[in-house]
Amino acid sequence: MRPKSLDDYFGQQHLVGKNKPLRNAIESNSLPSILFWGPPGVGKTTLAQIISETLDRPFYTLSAINSGVKDIREVISKVQNQGMFGGQNAILFIDEIHRFSKSQQDSLLNAVEKGIITLIGATTENPSFEVISALLSRCQTYILEHHTKDDLELLLNEALTKDPYLKSQKVILKETEALLRISGGDARKLLNSLEIAVHSLPSNNKTITNQFVIENVQQGLTNYDKNGEQHYDIVSAMIKSIRGSDPNGAVYWMARMIEGGEEPKFIARRLLILASEDIGNANPTALVMANTCFDAVTKIGWPESRIILSQCIIYLASSPKSNASYMAINVAQDLVRKTGDLAVPLHLRNAPTKLMKDIGYGAEYQYSHENTSKLHEQEFLPKEITNTTIFTPSENKRELDLKKYLNWVWKGKYGY
């Protein structure tokens, strides 16, 4: 079911739709080196293959899981030796490029810069963290999104009507919700689920319902690819165990990730985000611990990093929880979107020139260190949204202390 052209490609219309940036680059044959960033099963590899076939260029592929500097140099040498007779403008596709070390990525730089190869890298991780800056600056990054419900339903219907085996089974797809839920937006996972469902159907009933999928597909899907298909479900289980203050569940799910071959930095990064999002000022040391854990994992490597991760995850799970900082920035951003670019009050404006001072910039500003007993007399929000409460402390010891202090400062203005 892998599509062969952009017109048959499912999803990512913000990139490959009519007059969209990637389609324009392909159709004008002015393709730069590219990084595709997106979750599994959204068509990164397929899109690279379509680009190669559309432009009729030599196509080489490596997987960062089992390739090294030697493999990269062999491809580059092969392209150079072919010269103008077939090697020019060759595409090198590297799957999971985030798994390459710095030295492995360095080995690509010269060939990319000189145009010996056009690099297409695929990654499920943020390239800003995982791709060296020198290579990142030489590539255009395109973000691929999860497939929509319409994309996935169209894919199911295409498979049932175009795949010779599925077409011969005369399957009736009565309900799709369970298949879509299991897929999580991953097209490959969706087709795997459909295949398992069809193979599980009795000979006298070829109808697929939600109940049939729930009873027959989930276990089969796990067996189909135990290391890849449950990836994000297990990450979610680990995070929710920490959020729920259960160190037992948290360590168990992390162990599942480790045994499945997960990158230690991937786990450490999730802990770093969680320390601020779910613990925050209920225990500010959690962010320090998570950041130290990330640094230590980067320095120590595998397998000893598992001990550091275990220590950190137990500390985070055992910490008091607060999402007040996370909710505050959500409220603030929503307020900005609704109210637009409100003017900065004159007393808060910077006045680096005499003219600015003359027209009132910075006038009437009260230096807070000299007016600690009158902080409540000064306004720090635009007048249109004065008195708006954005930060609401949670009911934990540390944030109750913050609430007490803020109530003293603002004399009840913000409801503290």
List, as one string, the DSSP characters of 52-88. HHHHT--EEEEETTT--HHHHHHHHHHHHHHTTTTTT
Could you give the count of Cα atoms lying within 13 Å of 323 in the half-sphere of its Cβ?
A: 7
pLDDT the model gives residue 356: 65
Q: Is the pLDDT of residue 222 over 70?
A: no
Q: What is the per-residue pLDDT across 367-407, written as a single tens digit (0 to 9) for each?
A: 777 677 777 777 778 888 888 888 888 888 888 888 888 88
Domain 233-317 has CATH 3.40.640.10: no
Q: For 102-106, 196-200, 221-225, 383-387, which range has the lowest pLDDT when averaged over its residues?
A: 221-225
Q: Is the pLDDT of residue 357 over 80?
A: no
Residues 6+ apart with CB under 8 A from 403: 393, 416
Q: Is the pLDDT of residue 275 over 90?
A: yes
Q: Is the pLDDT of residue 225 over 80?
A: no
Whether 234 contacts 256, CB under 8 Å: yes
So where are the chain's domains?
Answer: 6-143, 149-224, 233-317, 340-410
Q: What is the per-residue pLDDT across 75-102, written as a single tens digit (0 to 9) for each?
A: 988 888 876 555 557 899 999 898 888 8
Whether 16 contacts 8, CB under 8 Å: no
- Compare 259 and 270 and report the one with higher pLDDT: 270
Q: What is the band of 362 on the pLDDT scale with cuts at 50, 70, 90?
A: low
Q: What is the band of 35 on the pLDDT scale with cuts at 50, 70, 90?
A: very high
Separation CA 262–CA 269 (nearest Å)? 12
Q: Hey, how many other C-beta atoms are within 10 angstroms of the C-beta on 179?
A: 22
Helix (H, G, I), strand (E, B) or coil at 138: coil
Q: What is the band of 166 on the pLDDT scale with cuts at 50, 70, 90?
A: confident
Whether 13 contacts 159, CB under 8 Å: no
User: Would you state the structure tokens that stand for residue 62, as one six-digit string?
Assistant: 């490596």
Q: Is the pLDDT of residue 185 over 60?
A: yes
Separation CA 136–CA 150 (nearest Å)? 33
Q: Hey, how many other C-beta atoms are within 10 angstroms of the C-beta on 320?
A: 17
Between CA 40 and CA 296, with CA 247 as vertex, the angle to 5 degrees is 65
Helix (H, G, I), strand (E, B) or coil at 411: coil
Q: Is the pLDDT of residue 266 over 80?
A: yes
User: Would you state the structure tokens that stand for residue 297, as one six-digit string?
Assistant: 């994992």
Q: What is the band of 228 on the pLDDT scale with cuts at 50, 70, 90?
A: very low
Q: What is the band of 236 on the pLDDT scale with cuts at 50, 70, 90?
A: confident
pLDDT the model gives residue 229: 45
Q: What is the mean pLDDT of the chain?
A: 85
User: How many helices and strands, by DSSP H and E, does the chain display?
Assistant: 21, 7
Whether 107 contacts 73, CB under 8 Å: yes
User: Domain 149-224 has what CATH class?
Assistant: mainly alpha
Whether 164 contacts 7, CB under 8 Å: no
Considering only CA atoms, which of 394, 194, 166 is closest in space to residue 280? Answer: 394
Whether 119 contacts 76, CB under 8 Å: no
Q: What is the per-residue pLDDT across 41-69, written as a single tens digit (0 to 9) for each?
A: 888 999 998 998 888 888 899 988 888 88
Between CA 277 and CA 138, with CA 99 as vertex, the angle to 5 degrees is 95
Separation CA 156–CA 166 (nearest Å)? 11
Whether 9 contacts 113, CB under 8 Å: no
pLDDT the model gives residue 227: 44
Considering only CA atoms, which of 321, 39, 309 is closest in space to residue 184? Answer: 39
Q: What is the per-residue pLDDT across 299-354, written as a single tens digit (0 to 9) for each?
A: 887 788 999 999 999 999 999 999 999 999 999 998 888 888 888 877 777 766 77
Amino acid (one-letter) located at 112:
V
Domain at 6-143, CATH homologous superfamily: P-loop containing nucleotide triphosphate hydrolases (3.40.50.300)
User: Would you state the structure tokens that stand for residue 71, as one six-digit string?
Assistant: 């493999």
Tell me whether the CATH fold assigned to 6-143 matches the one assigned to 233-317. Answer: no
- Looking up tokens 């990269």 gives 72
